[in-house]
Structure 1
Amino acid sequence: MAGREPYRLKPLLIGYNLFLSLWNAHFLYRFLVLHRWGADVFDFRRPSFEDHSPLALEQISLQHVYLLSKLVDLFETIFFVLRKKPNQITALHTYHHFTVPIIGFVSIRLVGNSRPLLLFGLCNSFIHTIMYGYYGLSAFGPHMQPYLWWKRYITQIQIIQFAIFIVVGVAFVTLQTGHHWFYLTCFFGQSSLYLVLFIRFYLKTYKQQQQQQQQSKRKVA
């Protein structure tokens, strides 16, 4: 795109983001229904490999489709490139979109209806419902900005999400039975790293904006 004009993808961005918002809302609902409205998050026993019940197979099928949705998320980076928005392809963005499909794939291969992956699915689909809804509304144009003051709260929720992962991870490591070491590593290694990355992103993005606004007010005064 170095020698090209940026593409205007307004209709595509509106459709893409609103579709993903609704798709994640669907995932959130299905995860809750198939896992006792979230109560399975606190069941730290590894699900049996011999369980071929309709419920277990439906849970595994949902996890596979959910993993595919993480691949659809990768189009977001392509749109940034086509629109020549390199500032939005941050280290956090790149690392997040690179690691989530890999970790999701390994998790499903180890245990298709794993409880640790369920916790991620519940939190992530909830946040993405809100986040892609925000992106979809913002794609309508600048006239929507006065109604999109709540962007920073999305990042705050993401920070809370990884703090929850770490807290639940302590209970999981203490009480779990039969899970692979991979899950134990992800709970603390990945959650801690993401927590630091999101906090840094939040401070860099919103604290700088606040300082710039204060400087502008001083100049006007």
Structure 2
Amino acid sequence: MRNKYSSRSHEHVFDYRDGDVFGCVADVGWITGHSYVVYGPLANGATTVLFESTPTYPNPGRYWETVARLGITHFYCAPTALRLLLRYEDDWVKRYDRSTLRVLGSVGEPLNHEAWHWFNDLVGEKRCTLVDTWWQTETGGIMISPRPSAPSAPVLPALPMRPMFGVKPVLCDPNGGVVEGMGVDGALCVGSVWPGIARTIYGDHKRYIDTYFSPYKGHYFSGDGAHR
């Protein structure tokens, strides 16, 4: 079921189309590599790129040279890498053809506004969809992202925005109650199960229950806070 969730989220979040070349530059040993280098793209019949090395070796144009050489249509990376590349001259991006890019994505931590605009405006030339995704190892795949949605729905800078099909995010207060309305903060929980959810912690199911389901009864607790 986790593989199925990876494939469906890959298809709908990234608007997968036949012939796409998916460039997720995460290490294949991490959950992002499992879900979006291997399972998701390959289950959908995509060409997937396995990237080794770092964003700056042999030079800060490594990512963009790879995009140009392989004709990558989707580029998915961590905000840490983007903030690192911000330190270098824009020419390291501009010297490479990025016309094949259609969708950009970030994963792993919050994407700050400066990095979002650099990624969107410079790398994507303001013509690519940028999906800032929120999920966890325990969720098996993307949970909140600007897409899928109506094609005309806005994508706001540095915000994941919308839940994946069947995912019901809720905000909870310290007493375990659900926080309603807009302009509010709370503990980010999920009020439903989904196909990619972790089933247990190996050898310690009690810890699994205590960590994820005991803090807020009836909800999966992510350990993160959120604003709506």
When normalised by structure 1's length, the TM-score is 0.24
Greater strand share, 1 or 2? 2
- For the pair shown, the structure with the greater C-alpha radius of gyration is 1
Structure with bigger helix share is: 1
Give the structure, 1 or 2, with the largest relative contact order (CA under 8 Å, sep 6 or more). 1
